[in-house]
Amino acid sequence: MEDVSIIDLYWARSQEAITQTKNKYGRLIYSICMRILRIAEDAYECENDTYLKAWDSMPPQRPDYLSAYLGRIARNLSLDRYEKEHAQKRGGSQIPLILDELEECIPSMPDGGLPLELRDLLNRFLESQTERARKLFVRRYWFGDSVKEISERYDLGESLVKMTLLRSRNALRELLEQEGVSI
């Protein structure tokens, strides 16, 4: 089923919207949650919470890209859950390491979100990167893949992945400084 049709089901308040969303995007949503939480039961709960949040937000929201919209919801719910459950301890997840890596580039916001201007800058930055650098950056900082997982996925050496990510972070920091965004 096409995304527009699924969104129309949400707007019509049809329960079929959830079923169609799960059929088309269930694996994507679960994988995003699982990469962050690393516990199947928690990932499954966040997947279901994503469907509920999508149900509650459409209408009034009418996303242009349903997969990105659902991915953002799943990611934010998973990060919130991770933060709540790991406030006192750090486990084997990649999240603390990823956040430490990005901390040197992107200013932290009080509510954990990014202002629209910063999102636009980040999108512009990603468009300026090579296809490989963009894919590595997104796999690392959006999907939460480990360096090892990225190197295996793209058949690259881990040192090349690390260097590419470092260069991308440095380029991002430089762009943000040029645009007057304080870190």
pLDDT in tens, 53-89: 999 999 998 999 999 999 999 999 998 888 777 665 5
What is the model's pTM? 0.61
Select from 85, 105, 128 the last residue of a domain.
85
Q: What is the pLDDT of residues 100-115, one digit of tens each?
A: 677 666 655 444 445 5
The DSSP secondary-structure symbol of 92 reads: S
Task: Give the domain range for residue 147.
Answer: 95-178
Residue 183 maps to a domain: no
Q: Do 161 and 151 contact (CB within 8 A), yes or no?
A: yes
Residue 176, pLDDT > 90, answer no
Residue 12: CB atoms within 10 A of its CB come to 10
Candidates 55, 52, 33; CA nearest to 43 is 33
80 and 101 in a common domain: no
Give the pLDDT band (50/70/90) at residue 155: very high
Residue 90 maps to a domain: no
CA atoms within 13 A on the CB side of 11: 10
Residue 158: CB atoms within 10 A of its CB come to 13
107 and 52 in a common domain: no
